[in-house]
Amino acid sequence: MRGKVAVVGSVVLDEIHRGGRTFSSFGGITYSVLTLAAFLPDREIVPITYIGSDDLSRFRELVEIFPNINLEAVKVYARGTNRNRLIYGDGEEREEFFELVTPPLTFRDLMPYLESEAFLVNYIKNDDLSFQDLKTLSYAFKGVLYMDIHSLLREKDADGGFRLRRLRDWQSWARMADILQMNRLEIQHFTGFKTETEEEMEKLALLVISQGPKALNLTMGSRGSILAYRKENSAVVKKFRVPAVEVVDPTGCGDIFGASFLADYLNHGDFEKAASFANEMASRSVSYPGLEFILSAGRHGGEGSSPFSR
């Protein structure tokens, strides 16, 4: 193995309701872990997370098709695994109802992996890693730190759903990552600035990377993504479009996007190439239910009838 990639966040058991169908799947950072394992077969992928004692054996069976996944940092939790009920409408919008039980992770949990090539911090819960622990990681870690703010901005409402919140001092959060990821709603709540057009989103993306990150992925669902990155003494903005596809289940496509981007960037060191690859993989994934897109790649070794085949 050339090195390690650590994945920080929460595992979730998803109950997905879409198009009159209901099915269950492991979710949360499971998408990130499996995607990295598929695209970085020469790296050891280490999820740092909690999982309920009743679900551990099933989780082990799920990931065993990828021999480069190391579960040594998975902590068994007696109170169970986080759960999420996702109810989709006709488009990309959905309602989510969480039952979150696991405690936050701490810098102490991350310390054994500071020699890793990269950390992917994916906020599945808003308390997966505290501001102070993330700050300590950013100072202590010398590799690539990719952060998907995802649920960092979410807080539960009285009905068990969630709403987006503002962060105090968003600039300090932004400067702790090398590469940031957020969607078009999240960037508005993250910065406090409203946008109506893609041109305004591009300007906001440039504002975010001016605070310190090397790059920002701004995802826009079926419209693709905006990549903003720093290059020498200037900044570059590029839009990526995706083809129209049949949408079976969009759950986890943002997680697949982020892990695909990081994997390709670690392999090639090119932000634009990584963004193009991430958009392609995320757009393909929505035609498969749950984790099937990634698991199919694992079963076929990325070749033949695998959905990864070009």
d(CA 183, CA 149): 9
Q: Distance of CA 43 to CAs 4, 46, 267, Å?
A: 5, 10, 11
- Domain 3-300: CATH superfamily is Ribokinase (3.40.1190.20)
Q: Which two tokens stand for residue 193?
A: 């600035």
- What pLDDT is stored for residue 133 in this prediction? 99
- What pLDDT is stored for residue 155 in this prediction? 87
The residue whose two tokens read 């033949």 is 304
- Band (76; pLDDT cuts 50, 70, 90): very high
Q: Can you tell me the mean pLDDT for 74-90?
A: 92
Q: Report the C-alpha dihedral over residues 248, 85, 282, 291, rounded to 10 degrees.
A: -80
d(CA 57, CA 178): 35
d(CA 304, CA 310): 10
Residue 302 pLDDT exceeds 60? no
Q: Can you tell me the mean pLDDT for 176-197?
A: 96
Q: Can you tell me the mean pLDDT for 170-175?
A: 97
205-255 pLDDT, tens digit per residue, is 999 999 999 999 999 999 999 999 999 889 999 999 998 898 898 999 999
d(CA 227, CA 274): 10
Residue 306 pLDDT exceeds 70? no
d(CA 265, CA 47): 19
The domains of the chain are located at 3-300
- What pLDDT is stored for residue 307 in this prediction? 53
d(CA 183, CA 150): 8
Residue 300 pLDDT exceeds 90? no
- Band (298; pLDDT cuts 50, 70, 90): confident
d(CA 296, CA 307): 7
The pTM score is: 0.94
- What pLDDT is stored for residue 296 in this prediction? 87
- Band (160; pLDDT cuts 50, 70, 90): low
Q: Which two tokens stand for residue 191?
A: 């910065």
Q: How many CA atoms lie within 13 A of 52 on its CB side?
A: 14
**What amino acid is encoded at 132 in this protein?**
Q
- What pLDDT is stored for residue 19 in this prediction? 82
Closest CA to 18 of 81, 93, 82: 93
